[in-house]
Structure 1
Amino acid sequence: MTRLFRSFFQGGFECSTHRRADGVRLDLIASSGHDDLVLDDYLQLSSRGIFTVRDGVRWHLIERSPGEYDWSSFVPMLRAAHAAGVQVIWDLCHYGYPDHVDIWSEDFVDAFGSFAREAAIVALQENDPAPLFCPINEISYWAWAGAQTGRINPVTFERGAELKRQLVRASIAAIRAIRSVAPDARFIVAEPLINVVSGSCEQEHVDRAEEYRQSQFEVHDMLTGERDPQLGGRPEFLDIVGVNFYPDNQWYLGGSTIPLGHHAYRPLHEMLHEVYRRYRRPLLISETGAEGRVKHYWLSQICEEVRLAIDDGLPVQGICLYPIVDYHGWDNHRICQVGLLSLPDEAGTRRSCELLDRELRRQQLAISRTRTSDLFIEEQRA
């Protein structure tokens, strides 16, 4: 097995940049202090054995006018990563895009491809010979939130399927454009991993729940060309399969969340088996985390499930704690205590969550004893 990441445990920085339904633009990199503290943030993680992170390239800041790029928000992050010895998976579009771009037009696809190509060139110039990218984060969620229910940009209703296809087109354009200048680049698709259960004996309701559950694979199938081949998908456009998995990712159709431990709750390692059977690609837990005092317990449960998957031979390449830093809620600006590190105080200092810090060290030791870790060690020695 080829080792794709510098560390099995990773840290993800919340980097959403969308406009809410009320028109307010969010920039979670700025509001969490990460833009000012990027080097210190990376060093804090590397001191804990985390050498791979997910972070964001803020398209709306870089291309304020069509075709004109200002990389002053991106280059310092590249240089901080290099200084800290950290490998970054760059999200090129995390729900946000420049105001001058019409997301429904063909220009959106072309503009995103051009932006992705230029971002890859900048990364190469800053000594990143094999960059890692997540072109568009959570296409399925964005299609639902932005074009089905109108919660975020483009604030449209009943057009979720249309937006999903548009975002797949843009992802393919970005992958093509990046590979034209950085042939060794690798790509992650980060999509929610879900389980939807009927909770009813009526066959129609059971069928609708299963149809909803199966929809989680539409983006992957579009990228490979298995579904809607007119979009331009081909097998090589699906590289590393990332799954985003949180405590509320399992629910009854039209009803409540299924709690961990409930008889209807599906074990994560079983869900990973299904994903791998479908795609036979390297797997990454690209986002996972919980809020408050249960976050260390959640990490323990996730790691136990991942070890079961690895023991079964699945190529799970890592677990990304997401977000790794507390952040302000999208809608109400409340402090979401989800991270290993807090928001900065007035002196610019972040505190660590001792419970999560301790659990992370415990899980790092446990994962070092798995079969996957042994393979990685052998490859390093070779």
Structure 2
Amino acid sequence: MDRPVEDLLRELAPRVLGTLVRRYGHFDTAEDAVQEALLAATDQWPGEGRPDNPVAWLITVASRRLTDLLRAEQARRRREQQVAQWTAVPPEPVTDSDDTLILLFLCCHPSLSPSSQIALTLRAVGGLTTTEIARAFLTTEATMTRRITRAKQSVKSSGARFSLPPDHVDRLSAVLKVVYLIFTEGYASTTGPQLHRVELTAEAIRLARMLHGLLPDDSEVTGLLALMLLTDARRPARTGPAGELIPMDEQDRTLWIRPAIDEGVALITAALPRGPLGPYQLQAAIAAVHDEAATAEATDWPQIAALYGVLLQLTDNPMTTLNHVVAVAMSEGPAVGLRYLATIDTDPRLTSDHRLYAVRGHLLEKSGDATGARAAYERAAELATSLPQRRYLNKKLAQLTPQ
């Protein structure tokens, strides 16, 4: 199957699932039906050509399969009468409406724990595999499979209607976190041969735009959209011809997507005065400082360090702490950065993450300690799960190794 068809199916899957759940309910069975419709598309479209209306084709095939699955399920439970009532519902015409946003809030049902909300949404809306979600949660695939299955059952048992819930604002924190995780998995893939998964970053930005349209005055919604635009704007310069990782200070900034930067800066500039201040707004402000610097040398590192300092007051995120160390080192020197790093390098949330050792290697290299830097880069390469990141770290290691 060619790549464009894969991209189209990934984009359409949440819309098809949303439509089926809205019409018929049965969240878990509907997802199975959608997966079978996607498999049918991968088999038929390359040879027969794409239908004129791909989403209508998928909805029709998935609806038929859902009918079969429900009939089988109800037969096992001896509920033929209920099946007859269900099949009597006239099918709705396929429209251009997109139910993805409602599906997003449904997955963040208050009966679910925050971790289950995120896992279910990443699976149903973001299209991530169970393996990818398990890695994001630092758990096993089997554990994540059980968690997602229980989450589906909880949504089904809650009797939730497929409509925008009246308490959608109360669910917003979980929804924003889900969308952000989809984006980060796409921007820096945890596994695989590619650094980017453009289909995921595009889907996350699309969802963020939908949320912004729903809640245009919410500063954190605006901040998240701005953060994604400002970050994704650097994507064309992050990899070389062979897909190799290029760090920000070595990137060709003329390749950065200027319209995305301009839009992101405008969004965060409008959001910050509205308040209250939140983590996504601060991260967007940091991204804006990076993107507005004409060269790496012109980056206002003291301002970035100060913004990270404020962000640390709002969140206990180990990656935020590590990024603060980098900003301090860039503004005050590697020796100061190493002293800061020594205060966090035993944090169990960091000790199994390659980024801790990559930062240590960078600071030791800048301090002139080649031996220490080699050991740190070697450990970072061992822990890195992304092939481009591992190759970059091995390149750094080779540059420090005596010939």
Give the structure-1-normalised TM-score: 0.28
Q: Which has the higher strand share?
A: 1
Higher relative contact order (CA 8 A, sep 6+): 1
